[in-house]
Amino acid sequence: MPRMTFFGLAFSITLMLTACSESEPVDPPAKIFSVTVEEDTAEPALRPTSINQAATLTLRLSNDDQSSVVVMLGCGVVRAVVERQEGDMWREVGETGCDDPGEQTIAPSDTVTAATWFSVGMLDVEALAGTYRLRVLAAENDNALPADLVTSDAFEMIDTPLYLSPESFAPGVISTDDEEWRVIFTPDGSRAYFARSDQFFPFSRQATIYESNLTDGVWSAPTVASFSGTYPDIDPFITPDGARLYFSSIRPVDGEDRTDLDLWFVEWTGSGWGSPIHTGAVNSPADELYASIDEDGVLYVASDRTGGVGGFDIYRADPLGDGRYSEAENVGAPVNTTRWEFNPAISRDGETLAFTGLNYPGGAGFGDIYVTEREGTVWATPSGLGGLVNTSADEYHPSFSPDERLLFFIRYGADGDFNVVSWPLP
């Protein structure tokens, strides 16, 4: 199925709390949603705003020979149909059901404990544009769908395409035969920033930050970012509000040459980025790499400074209010170990931390991507992302799309490109 960009599709959504018969718009109670597709090439998706991703309902449409609807919902729903509105009538154009409800069940509560993907296959329509709905016809019990799926504020429309397995991001434009490092986006998704180098940065210590613009669904040929190109720069990160871009750089500090990587930032002026500013006390005589900042301004960074637990550790620092940061503190166990932990990617709310772990026991490859969730004031034991992401190749540099529905990472030793996959993982 052809992919589209993850911003700017045209569609509208109406969540309905009552069901319809197959011939009338409104009739006996059931759980349904409807979506209007205004273009023949669109992949609208409907998802709960709650964190319960297992309860996701997704309608995916395309107008190629593989036109299909993919629905993810708890297997307590044993039959549902996809209908298309024709005048004031609804016509069934596809059906889905649970292949093996015995193995995939939903507990008799408001919490979905299991889910599966259903494919309706080819839609019985001549043209894709139109209004569709999913109508649940039967369920195993009254609690087959949790309560939060039938409230008026339980859903939001998104225009992020689904990536059920990792795919190369912008191949030949952003993902190339050169070495690329960490991709990040402005909050509206219209600009991407990443670093590129001719050789492997840990050895060459040379890289430049580039910018690419999204126009009509196409990423432009990258150009050197206004603040980069003179000194080695890598690992851009844009704050959730888009006001500042942080990066790591080997450049003079207060007129004195440096050989280590420090954190710097530039501020958005309304028409471009300002001049680089040193972030201050968070830095050390060692390397600081891969800044990541949550919506409260808390910064996470990797450093190989003395006094750490392993070779590289993850540290955190509090904002001082002017873009600069306080001295960093080690986040400690269980995140940091005697091995290397680096490339921290914090969620906007500061509750989820993804990072790269190097040469972990039981890992899939040399570098794998791990994730941990905050439990009160401490972090839970990290877990690997599994075979969909982690392979015998080297995976590193995780980052999230602005809406946190896509995960980007690099797979070195295979295609070497930026890869993109839906987040949370399918």
Number of domains in the chain: 2
pTM > 0.85 = no
Could you tell me if 99 and 224 lie in one domain?
A: no
Instruction: For residue 6, tell me if it sits in a domain.
Output: no
| Alpha-carbon torsion angle 256, 290, 313, 385, nearest 10 | -170
For residue 163, the model assigns a pLDDT of 72
CA 268 vs CA 227, 243, 348: distances in Å: 11, 5, 19
Could you tell me if 327 and 350 lie in one domain?
A: yes
Q: Which of 114, 131, 158 is the last residue of a domain?
A: 158
Please check whether residue 404 is in contact with residue 347, taking contact to mean a CB–CB distance below 8 angstroms. yes
Give the helix/strand (H/E) hosting 203.
helix 201-204
pLDDT confidence bin for 75, thresholds 50/70/90: very low
Could you tell me if 22 and 67 lie in one domain?
A: yes
Only one residue has tokens 């087959």, namely 144
- 357-391 tens-digit pLDDT: 998 988 998 999 999 999 999 999 999 999 999 99
Could you tell me if 200 and 337 lie in one domain?
A: yes
Better-predicted residue by pLDDT, 188 or 14: 188
pLDDT confidence bin for 239, thresholds 50/70/90: very high
* First vs last C-alpha separation in the chain: 17
CATH of the domain at 364: 2.120.10.30
Please check whether residue 72 is in contact with residue 57, taking contact to mean a CB–CB distance below 8 angstroms. yes
Mention every residue, 6+ apart, whose C-beta is less than 8 A from residue 77: 98, 136, 138, 139, 140, 144, 145
Mention every residue, 6+ apart, whose C-beta is less than 8 A from residue 109: 143, 146
Which stretches does DSSP call E strand in 140-190? Answer: 155-158, 167-168, 179-185
Could you tell me if 113 and 188 lie in one domain?
A: no
Instruction: For residue 106, tell me if it sits in a domain.
Output: yes
- 271-313 tens-digit pLDDT: 999 999 999 999 999 999 999 999 999 999 999 999 999 999 9
Could you tell me if 72 and 96 lie in one domain?
A: yes
Could you tell me if 148 and 180 lie in one domain?
A: no
Question: How far is Cα of residue 176 from the mean position of the Cα atoms in its chain?
Answer: 21
- 308-342 tens-digit pLDDT: 999 999 999 999 999 999 999 999 999 999 999 99
CA 94 vs CA 6, 57, 145, 223: distances in Å: 26, 16, 21, 46
The mean pLDDT of the chain is 73
Only one residue has tokens 């969909």, namely 388
Q: Which of 123, 158, 193 is the last residue of a domain?
A: 158
Region 86-96: what's the mean pLDDT?
Answer: 68
Q: Which domain holds residue 217?
A: 167-422
Partners of 375 in the beta sheet? 378
Could you tell me if 148 and 173 lie in one domain?
A: no
Instruction: For residue 4, tell me if it sits in a domain.
Output: no
Instruction: For residue 78, tell me if it sits in a domain.
Output: yes
Could you tell me if 243 and 140 lie in one domain?
A: no
Q: Which of 158, 181, 209 is the last residue of a domain?
A: 158
For residue 413, the model assigns a pLDDT of 73
Q: Which of 101, 18, 96, 13 is nearest to 49 (CA)?
A: 13
Q: What secondary structure does DSSP assign to 331-372, as a single string? A: --TTT--SSEEEEEEE-TTS-EEEEEEES-TT-SSSEEEEEE
pLDDT confidence bin for 127, thresholds 50/70/90: low
Pairing of strands 191-197, 179-185: antiparallel
pLDDT confidence bin for 125, thresholds 50/70/90: low
